[in-house]
Each structure stands twice: as C-alpha cells, then as structure tokens.
Structure 1
Amino acid sequence: MTGTRLEKGDIAPAFTLSDQDGSPVSLADFAGTKTIVYFYPAASTPGCTTQACDFRDNINSLKSAGYQVLGVSKDELDDLKTFQSEQGLNFPLLSDPDLTIHQAYGAWGEKSLYGKTVTGTLRSTFVVGEDGRIELPLYNVKATGHVASLRKKLGVDA
C-alpha cells in the first residue's frame, strides 16, 4: 500500500482534488509556476496546525519568490473548511479521502508513532518546478521548523 517515492527530476503526478470550498483544484492549474505540495496527516491536530500556520505566516515570502502552496490530507471537506477558517489559512487545502494522490506521491505508508509501527500519511513536501517536474522531494519532515528549513533550501528570504 506504500507508494513509490518520487525523486528529483520525476514528473509530478497530476491530480485534481476538491478544496475546502468544494472547488476542483488541479496541479495543471499551476503549470508554469513553482508549486509546493505538502501532505499532512490530519487537520486541526497540533503538529499539522503548527505546520499549516507556518506556511500561512510565510506565504508572502514564498509567493514573492514565485511559489504557490497546496496542502493535501485525507480529511473531508467540512474538516478542511473548519481548519482553514479557525487558523486563517491563506492557501488551498485539498481533500484526498481515497489516498490516490498520497500513494502517487509516496506520502502514504508505514511510520513509527509513539514506538508503534502504523500505516498513515507520511508528512512530506514536494516542490514542483515550472516544468511540472519534482525539484525537491522531502519525506518524513518535522512539523516544527519545516517551513524555515524549506525556505533555506529554496533560498527564499523571510
């Protein structure tokens, strides 16, 4: 059930998912721009809230460097809408309840949680270049400090 891990230079798997408002969002909508697609386990949980708010707080520096941000989880639309509203998130949250896109990006699989092996979302971030190829695949990232680390890797100033 674990997807294949993507490598730098791979073509980013195409997708069309519903956002928190039920509108379709496709990766193709962002062709010709640099897009950060990040996968997180669950809306409104402590780590995911920290990470989402980090993206929210850094969105202007990312956008001025030419990056768009898309968050993807298996959450239902109502949960995403609540999460976006409660946290004032300023980027689309996409719902992938059947995990098709998680698996296409290798963001679903076994992980260790409190010393136990479980199957779930692997907190992962992908930078998709203007040409639709993976520029930076990051698996098993930490929620705290991830956006600062990502900005450093991308050479994006605060």
Structure 2
Amino acid sequence: MLKVGDKLPEFEGTNQDGETIASSKLIGKKLVVFFYPQANTPTCTVEACNLSDNYSKLKKEGFQLLGVSGDGVKKQKNFHSKFAFPYNLIADESHDVIEKFGVWQEKKTFGKTYMGIVRTTFIFDENGICTRVIEKVTSKTAADQILEG
C-alpha cells in the first residue's frame, strides 16, 4: 500500500462522464483520493455523501477530491448523478489505479475470504507527495477525518 512520503502514482482513469483524468493534472493543489468498494452500496454512499456535504469546507482548505472504485462508467455515472457529487469518480474496472495505490487486498467478511478494495483515503500535498493515509475510514465522518489532519 502507498504510504506517507510516496509520490502520487502516474495514472489515467475514466470518470463518470467518460472523460480521462490524468494524475499529472492533479498536482498543484492538495488532493484527496478515496477508494471505496462499490458505488450505491450503503456504507459507500454514506462516505461519498459525507464528503459531498462537506465539500465546501474541504475546498476552503484547498483540497480537491477524487473517488475511485472498480465499478464501470455507467454505474459511476448513476451514483454521481443520483447524489449530484461535486467531484469526479473514477471507474477503474481494470484495477490499474486500485493496484497502484495497493488497496486491492484480501478481505474477510463473515468468515469468507475474498479479494476486494479496502476502503482507504490518501491525502497528497501540492507537490503530489502523500502526507497522510487514513486506513480506518469512518464513513459518517470521512470529511472530519481529512480535516483533522
């Protein structure tokens, strides 16, 4: 998994509108990249909505936001439109971005072991250097966790 001091990985991802988002274009402002397991599921929706509800506070602190999951563009578009998120969501079906950040890991639920996205938030400074990794994301207070850093 990416850690504090690491550089923002180079990637290109497709957002909810089918547009390419390149990591090289995200440098220059503080950046929050949050990974969530699946669009339109209860916990992921709570997290994404919390970030959306607190977007003006985050923006005021100089943050830009980018959400990433392994969902397709159509599913991300539906999720984005349904809740009118003010930030981009990357549809990473190939797991290229997910793998570069190291969040595709073994998970356990109800005694079953499987591979999946570990909900994680990465914070980068204006130079694209990771300053914080939030591994224990609390969906209801995700924005506060970012701001308390």
Residue number among 20, 26, 32 corresponding to 1:30 in the alignment? 26
Runs ≥4 residues deviating over 3 A = none
Instruction: Give the match for residue 6 of structure 2.
Output: 10
Q: Distance in 2 between matches of 1:117 and 1:150?
A: 30
- How does the TM-score come out when normalised to structure 2? 0.94
**Deviation per CA, 1:74-114, whole angstroms, max 9, x where unpaired?**
11101011101111111000111111111110111012223
Instruction: Give the match for residue 83 of structure 1.
Output: 79
For residues 118-133 of structure 1, the aligned pairs below 5 Å read 118-133=114-129
**Deviation per CA, 1:31-88, whole angstroms, max 9, x where unpaired?**
1110100000110000110000011001101111110000001111010111011111
Instruction: Give the match for residue 108 of structure 1.
Output: 104
- How does the TM-score come out when normalised to structure 1? 0.89
Question: How much has 1:17 moved relative to structure 2?
Answer: 0.4
Measured on the aligned residues, the alpha-carbon RMSD in Å equals 1.2
**Which runs of no fewer than 5 residues in structure 2 stay unpaired?**
none
Contact 1:107 1:139 (8 Å CA) reproduced: no
| Equivalent residue letter for 1:20 | Q
Residue number among 89, 92, 95 corresponding to 1:93 in the alignment? 89
Q: Distance in 2 between matches of 1:115 and 1:140?
A: 20
Note if 1:43 corresponds to 2:31: no
Residue number among 140, 143, 150 corresponding to 2:146 in the alignment? 150
Contact 1:123 1:142 (8 Å CA) reproduced: no
Q: Distance in 2 between matches of 1:129 and 1:87?
A: 28
Percent sequence identity is 34
Question: How much has 1:136 moved relative to structure 2?
Answer: 0.7
